[in-house]
Structure 1
């Protein structure tokens, strides 16, 4: 598992647990379909990724497709580091 994948999954586990319950997340966990994150969680995750990786995620990239799973989030980060 890549460093970015571990960072994304770790952030989700730490920041999106509700009621103190641990959540199970792997690279292919459907975040939207399983309602593991709300809109504020997504904004906070974007802020975390921008700060951690020194990137700027364009507002046009804030689409459900880019945040379906940790894998799609990692792909977004990798595309953002290329520019």
Structure 2
């Protein structure tokens, strides 16, 4: 498991899963479809990404294609980090 994947899974588990078993969350599960994260949760998720990885998430990047699963988040974060390199 990559460091980013581990950090994202830990954040989601600690902040959104509450009583659910974190192991039950698959990396490609949609946060919105499963009800794990709502619109307010997306803002928390963005704040985590910006703080943890020192990147800026633009308004036009606030789309499910970037933020709606662990796999999508990993891909998005890795692309943002490549932009900084």
TM-score band (shorter)?
0.7 to 0.9
- The SS at the match of 1:81 is helix
Instruction: State the partner residue of 1:22.
Output: 20
> How many residues end up aligned between the 2 structures?
81
RMSD in angstroms over aligned alpha carbons?
Answer: 1.3
In terms of fraction of residues, the more helix-rich structure is: 2
Q: Matched residues in 2 for 1:78 and 1:37: separation? A: 21
**1:1-80 mapped onto 2 (5 Å cutoff):** 1-17=1-17, 20-23=18-21, 24-80=24-80
Contact preservation (8 Å) 1:9, 1:26: no
Tell me, which stretches of 5 or more residues in structure 1 are unaligned? none
CA separation in 2, counterparts of 1:6 and 1:32?
A: 20
Q: Give distance in 1, aligned partners of 2:76 and 2:53.
A: 12
Q: Distance in 1 between matches of 2:8 and 2:77?
A: 10
Contact 1:66 1:72 in 2 (8 A): yes
Q: Deviations over 1:18-42 (max 9, x none)?
A: xx41243232222121111011111
**Whole-angstrom distance in 1 between the partners of 2:29 and 2:8:** 12
C-alpha separation in 2, matches of 1:73 and 1:62: 11
